[in-house]
Amino acid sequence: MRKKIVAGNWKMNMNLDEGHELVAGILKGLPALNNDKIVVIAPPFINIQHSYYQVEDTDHVYIAAQNCSTENSGAYTGEVAASMIKHAGASYVIIGHSERREYFNETDAILSKKTDTALDNGLKVIFCCGESLEVRDAGTQNEYVEAQLKAGLFHLHKHQLANIVVAYEPIWAIGTGRTATSQQAQDMHAHIRSVFAAQYGQNIADDLTILYGGSCKPSNAAELFACADVDGGLIGGASLKASEFLGIIEAMMHA
Ligand code: PGA
């Protein structure tokens, strides 16, 4: 059975004290999770180790980084290696967020290499995809997202897919308050699953966790998570308040 995941992407928010408070608040209100319903928290790099120490005794709560280097080590000033992220306590890394693609010029080739480096170093990958409003208005979103997934992930071996989570995040819905309708999310998630089924077989596709991201909040999470192919969410803004993040986790528990 595929896992359901609620993952919080803090982006460039929260200093150490604020991050400590936020994680403490989340842990305080956390329902009983299990192997199939887990929570992931992605703070900035410098919070990773501290956040990990806060959650390490709580089952089914994991830490993620928001990015990692393509390289393993060496003279790459300002970069953070996947091995360091793993050593600091993280289990996951978000790769290919649209903000990284757009503002930091991360190409498909770079993202494919980052995915390999992360997997080689024992991290699981939350791989993001999603189209702009322009692409959505042109009606070519299925082809666009399919191309992103093929370029970033389809060089992987079947056995590596167990360590991949896909996050569909339409750019026009990120931080805009404009959520995709549950029908739009379901249609794209079903398409993504069919693309994986064609490449890797139905069993692998059925086990793949596909998250929705983009203005997901407590008031719309239940409807989104009720869709057959939506296996949870990657949450930005609403992950910065414990009460809101917990509301979304509750929606997963009841989905
Ligand atoms: P948002 O961001 O929930 O603030 O729209 C989602 C994301 O970018 O991961």
Q: How far apart are CA 92 and CA 116, in angstroms?
A: 13
pLDDT at 146 over 90: yes
Query: Given pLDDT bands bounded at 50, 70 and 90, which one contains residue 27?
Result: very high
- Give pLDDT tens digits for 197-231: 999 999 999 999 999 999 999 999 999 999 999 99
Q: Report the pLDDT averaged over residues 1-15.
A: 96
Q: Which of 165, 168, 174, 217 should be mutated for ligand 1, with most atoms under 8 A from CB? A: 174
- The residues annotated as belonging to the active site are 97, 169
Q: Output DSSP code: residue 75.
A: S
Query: Given pLDDT bands bounded at 50, 70 and 90, which one contains residue 179?
Result: confident
pLDDT at 178 over 90: no
User: pLDDT at position 101, please?
Assistant: 97
* DSSP bridge partners of 129: 168
Q: How far apart are CA 99 and CA 102, in angstroms?
A: 5
Is the CB–ligand 1 distance for residue 175 below 6 Å?
Answer: yes
Q: 93: part of which helix (H) or strand (E)?
A: strand 92-95
- SS3 label, residue 168: strand
Q: Report the pLDDT averaged over residues 49-63.
A: 98
User: pLDDT at position 55, please?
Assistant: 98
pLDDT at 1 over 90: no
Query: Given pLDDT bands bounded at 50, 70 and 90, which one contains residue 251?
Result: very high
User: pLDDT at position 175, please?
Assistant: 83
- Rounded to the nearest angstrom, the distance between the alpha carbon of 98 and the centre of ligand 1 is 10
Residue linked to tokens 């949870």: 232
Which protein residue has the closest C-alpha to ligand 1 atom 7?
236
Q: Specify whether the CB–CB gap between 55 and 22 falls below 8 A.
A: no
Instruction: Give me 231's structure tokens.
Output: 């296996």
Is the CB–ligand 1 distance for residue 174 below 6 Å?
Answer: yes
Determine whether 28 is exposed, middle or buried from the number of CB atoms within 10 Å of its CB (0-12, 13-18, 19+): exposed
- Rounded to the nearest angstrom, the distance between the alpha carbon of 74 and the centre of ligand 1 is 32
Is the CB–ligand 1 distance for residue 237 below 6 Å?
Answer: yes
Q: How far apart are CA 160 and CA 199, in angstroms?
A: 13
Question: φ, ψ for residue 13 (rounded to 5)?
Answer: -135, 155
User: pLDDT at position 177, please?
Assistant: 80
Amino acid letter, residue 77: T
- Residue 249: C-alpha distances to residues 33, 48, 205 (Å): 9, 21, 24
pLDDT at 150 over 90: yes
Instruction: Give me 112's structure tokens.
Output: 């494919």
pLDDT at 158 over 90: yes
Instruction: Give me 68's structure tokens.
Output: 């990692």
Q: Report the pLDDT averaged over residues 56-61.
A: 98
pLDDT at 176 over 90: no
- Rounded to the nearest angstrom, the distance between the alpha carbon of 119 and the centre of ligand 1 is 24
User: pLDDT at position 11, please?
Assistant: 98
Amino acid letter, residue 18: E
Q: How far apart are CA 190 and CA 11, in angstroms?
A: 28
Question: φ, ψ for residue 23 (rounded to 5)?
Answer: -65, -40
Structural domains of the chain, with CATH: 4-253 (3.20.20.70)
- Rounded to the nearest angstrom, the distance between the alpha carbon of 163 and the centre of ligand 1 is 22
Instruction: Give me 53's structure tokens.
Output: 């120490």
**Which residues lie below 8 Å from residue 219, measured CB to CB, with a gap of 6+?**
none
Is the CB–ligand 1 distance for residue 169 below 6 Å?
Answer: yes
Query: Given pLDDT bands bounded at 50, 70 and 90, which one contains residue 82?
Result: very high
pLDDT at 180 over 90: no
